[in-house]
Amino acid sequence: MWIYLPSTDRIIQIAGHMLRQSVMGSDLSYEDMMEDPVLSNLYTAQTITADTLRDRPCWVLELMAKTEDISYYKRKLWIDQSRMIVLREERFAKGGTLLKETDVLSVFTLENRWYPKEVLYRDVLNQNSKGTRFIIESLELNVDIPEWRFTKAALRRS
């Protein structure tokens, strides 16, 4: 992963131990942002119970890591039963310590599919954290993006 730092006008590579660092002071790490979106590649899942979250019936899934070399050994997901979207996630260390929480506070539909609109991420181990809030103001699907956008030089132009 490469990022551009406008304050120093430098493009740097984020790798190794740097992946676990906070993204610009947020509650997310670079590693969180780079995660494989197909969780079934990394975890085995089972439904452990039904619950209600913010007046929405949910299934609660427990995901256990398939390998030892993974950031979050266990994850719990609250899935809205009718909209099929994650409303809450808890991420745990191998020893069982809760590390991070994610809450989807509002959702919207686009082309008959539900998407998060407002998401609150919280690093539970950071006692001073009030969380990091992401708000999606607009979303376009199936947009053609030119190849040059995925070059290091394009980082500086943005």
What average pLDDT score do residues 38-52 get?
94
Q: For residues 70 and 56, which has the higher predicted lDDT (pLDDT)?
A: 56
Q: Has residue 158 got a pLDDT over 70? A: no
* Statement to judge: residues 104 and 75 lie in one domain: yes
* Statement to judge: residues 56 and 128 lie in one domain: yes
Q: Where do we find the tokens 């959702």?
A: 107
In whole numbers, what is the pLDDT of the chain averaged over residues? 89
What average pLDDT score do residues 108-133 get?
93
**pLDDT for 36:** 67
Q: Indicate the pLDDT class of residue 17, thresholds 50, 70 and 90.
A: low
* Statement to judge: residues 137 and 61 lie in one domain: yes
Q: Which CATH number characterizes residue 67's domain?
A: 2.50.20.10
* Statement to judge: residues 47 and 104 lie in one domain: yes
Task: Please count the other Cβ atoms lying within 10 Å of the Cβ belonging to residue 98.
Answer: 13
- Asked whether residue 153 is domain-assigned, the answer is no
Q: Has residue 18 got a pLDDT over 70? A: no
Q: Where do we find the tokens 């997901």?
A: 77
- Asked whether residue 125 is domain-assigned, the answer is yes
What average pLDDT score do residues 101-121 get?
97
* Statement to judge: residues 78 and 16 lie in one domain: no
Stated pTM of the model: 0.83
**pLDDT for 34:** 66
- The residue segments making up the domain with residue 14 are 1-26
Number of domains in the chain: 2
Question: pLDDT (tens digit, 9 = 90+) per residue, 124-154?
Answer: 998 888 899 999 999 999 999 999 988 888 8
* Statement to judge: residues 72 and 8 lie in one domain: no
Supply the DSSP string of 104-136, one letter for each residue: EEEEEEETTEEEEEEEEEEETT-TT---EEEE-
* Statement to judge: residues 63 and 124 lie in one domain: yes
Residues in the chain: 158
What average pLDDT score do residues 87-96 get?
97
DSSP-H helix ranges across the chain: 30-33, 152-157
**pLDDT for 104:** 98
User: Is residue 60 within 8 Å of 48, Cβ to Cβ?
Assistant: yes
